[in-house]
A and B are shown apart, each in its own frame.
Chain A
Amino acid sequence: MEQTMKLTLKVWRQKDKNAKGAFESYQADNIDAAMSFLEMLDVVNEKLTKEGIEPIAFDHDCREGICGMCGAVVNGRPHGPRKETTLCQLHMRHFQNNDTITIEPWRAKAFPVIRDLAVDRSAFDRILAKGGYISVKTGCAPDASVMLVSRENSELAMDAAACIGCGACVAGCPNASAMLFVGGKISHLGLLPQGRIEAKKRAVNMVKKMDDEGFGACSNEYECQAVCPKKLSVSNIARMNRDYILGSAD
């Protein structure tokens, strides 16, 4: 059955936004293979607290892979080595006894570190406030059956809408670009007839905000897609590029 492991953690510690951070090593003993990665961190934090060392700060909430709050670069990959898995759903059975695990925060100019592994992703919210919506007010919607949506588009829109806003795409991109996140939202809304009306303006405004926030440009390396826990495809970026040309030509 499942045995316990002994691990060495190399964790990025940084007191606050302005402090200079550094890696610290900690020992994690008696780690059960059935634990999630975050539960492993909980165990380490309990131990640290008892030793009088301030626990490692890391963001997390739902712990079932949907809220998008958790995330760290584990052994060089956002959310760790397993594909399509958020950090909270990564289980320790995917590690070996005596492994050394390096844990770092997302690194991007637009995602300043707040403390240790926690970063400020509010840039995402600010981008969405520039157009990540359909401008419908409460109460004025027609009956839901009036508008038909082809199943293909509906499914593609759902694929794009599955984004949890965790920021792994930015963390994994060699350029710290947010194109997959922004492209996902532009695709989700632009694929639906009700969202098409504002599509061009939406693309122009959201891209402008994305650039202003300090994210890098896309160089089509597709790392974002490879590390996305929700399988968002880079075809969403292509859709954004298309809408962006159309919007700019208007």
Chain B
Amino acid sequence: MELLQQYFQSSIGKKQIVALTGLMLIGFILGHLAGNLLIFKGPEALNAYAHKLASMRPAMYGVELALAGTFLLHICLTVYLFFYNNEARPIAYGYYQPTDRSISTRLMPYTGTLLAAFVIWHLLDFTFSDQTGTLSLVGKESLGLYGVVVNAFKIQWHSGLYILAMCAIGFHLTHGFQSFMQSLGLNHPKYTPVIKIISVFLGLAVAAIFSSIPLYVMFFARIP
């Protein structure tokens, strides 16, 4: 027990929990992405998926609570570590020139903050939106969640912000995935370079596929 407590108090323990929660969030993002792709199949498919999820309540509340907890833990620990790390160097360098850190690594605190803000906006915007109200109307007909999404993405700044957030996810994952492996000690001379490539690929893919939805809505989608 004492060791476990010590583990949670330690810098490595915290980092490993950040890594684990991060991995869980990657899982969530991939699942979410798969669901979102139903938009390409049309309003029925997407709405049916949304209803299906809604119909699974109250069990779904448990899942959502766990997800929210994971998010919060991930955010709280990283924020804590951010300040903890700042404290380890009370006097800053007059001249500090980092060497070859990748851009995704440098941007981690910023992409992270952006994503936290995005999640709140996104929840208000889509998840908790009135899916039968005026925002869902396409023409005169309510198209449910599909309508809300399509209407939102028809607005350029809205899509723009969304795509910006997806780029942030992309960068965040590019660092995050390989970082997760390192933090849990999964480093190997042969496989680590491959993991780094996978990491970049994962970030790019997630950003591109998520962004494809607003782009599709803006430029290609014909409103039924």
Chain A residues engaging chain B, CB cutoff 8 angstroms: 10, 12, 23, 73, 75-77, 102, 104, 107-110, 172, 174-177, 204, 207-208, 210-211, 214-223, 226-227, 234-235, 237-245, 247-250
Could you tell me the dominant secondary structure of chain B's interface residues?
helix
A216 and B11 contact, CB distance less than 8 A: yes
A-B contact count (CB 8 A): 145
A51 to B178, CA, bound (A): 55
Chain B residues engaging chain A, CB cutoff 8 angstroms: 3-4, 6-7, 9-16, 81, 84-85, 87-101, 105-106, 108, 175, 178-179, 181-189, 192
A226 and B15 contact, CB distance less than 8 A: no
Could you tell me the dominant secondary structure of chain A's interface residues?
mixed
A208 to B10, CA, bound (A): 7
B98 and A242 contact, CB distance less than 8 A: no
Q: Which single residue of chain B is at the shortest CB-CB distance from A243?
A: B185
Greatest chain A CB density within 10 A among B178, B179, B182 is at B182
A175 to B80, CA, bound (A): 13
Residues from chain B with Cβ under 8 Å of A216 in the complex: 11, 84-85, 87-89
B89 and A175 contact, CB distance less than 8 A: yes
Nearest 10 CB-CB pairs, A to B? A242-B185, A76-B97, A238-B187, A216-B88, A175-B85, A217-B11, A241-B185, A226-B99, A248-B7, A176-B88
A177 to B183, CA, bound (A): 14
A178 to B84, CA, bound (A): 14
Q: Which single residue of chain B is at the shortest CB-CB distance from A235?
A: B187
Residues from chain A with Cβ under 8 Å of B186 in the complex: 238, 242
Greatest chain A CB density within 10 A among B89, B105, B186, B189 is at B89
Q: Which single residue of chain A is at the shortest CB-CB distance from B92?
A: A107
- Our pick among A107, A175, A177, A226 for the contact of B93 (Cβ within 8 Å) is A107
A110 to B42, CA, bound (A): 59
A102 to B89, CA, bound (A): 19
A219 to B81, CA, bound (A): 9
Residues from chain A with Cβ under 8 Å of B100 in the complex: 226
A248 and B96 contact, CB distance less than 8 A: no
Q: Identify 16 residue pairs between A and B in the complex whose beta-carbon atoms are under 8 Å apart, listed by A's number.
A: A107-B89, A107-B93, A109-B90, A207-B10, A215-B11, A215-B88, A216-B87, A216-B88, A218-B12, A218-B15, A219-B108, A219-B179, A221-B101, A241-B15, A241-B16, A242-B185
A250 and B3 contact, CB distance less than 8 A: yes
B191 to chain A, nearest CB (A): 11
A207 and B88 contact, CB distance less than 8 A: no
A175 to B182, CA, bound (A): 17
A107 and B184 contact, CB distance less than 8 A: no
A204 and B6 contact, CB distance less than 8 A: yes
Q: A23-B94, A102-B94, A207-B10 are in contact. Are A108 and B88 (CB under 8 A)?
A: yes
A76 and B95 contact, CB distance less than 8 A: yes
Residues from chain B with Cβ under 8 Å of A214 in the complex: 87-88
A216 to B14, CA, bound (A): 12
B187 and A234 contact, CB distance less than 8 A: yes
* Apart from A104-B95, A177-B85, 13 more pairs, CB < 8 Å: A23-B94, A102-B94, A109-B88, A207-B11, A214-B88, A218-B15, A223-B99, A234-B187, A235-B187, A241-B15, A241-B184, A244-B10, A244-B185
Q: Which single residue of chain A is at the shortest CB-CB distance from B189?
A: A235
A204 to B5, CA, bound (A): 12
B127 to chain A, nearest CB (A): 31
Residues from chain A with Cβ under 8 Å of B94 in the complex: 10, 12, 23, 102, 104
Q: Which single residue of chain A is at the shortest CB-CB distance from B98?
A: A223
A250 to B7, CA, bound (A): 11
A211 to B87, CA, bound (A): 12
A220 and B184 contact, CB distance less than 8 A: no
A211 and B10 contact, CB distance less than 8 A: yes
Residues from chain B with Cβ under 8 Å of A219 in the complex: 15, 81, 85, 105, 108, 179
A107 to B179, CA, bound (A): 25
- Our pick among A104, A217, A227 for the contact of B14 (Cβ within 8 Å) is A217
Q: Which single residue of chain A is at the shortest CB-CB distance from B6?
A: A208
Residues from chain B with Cβ under 8 Å of A73 in the complex: 93, 95-96
Residues from chain A with Cβ under 8 Å of B14 in the complex: 217
B64 to chain A, nearest CB (A): 29
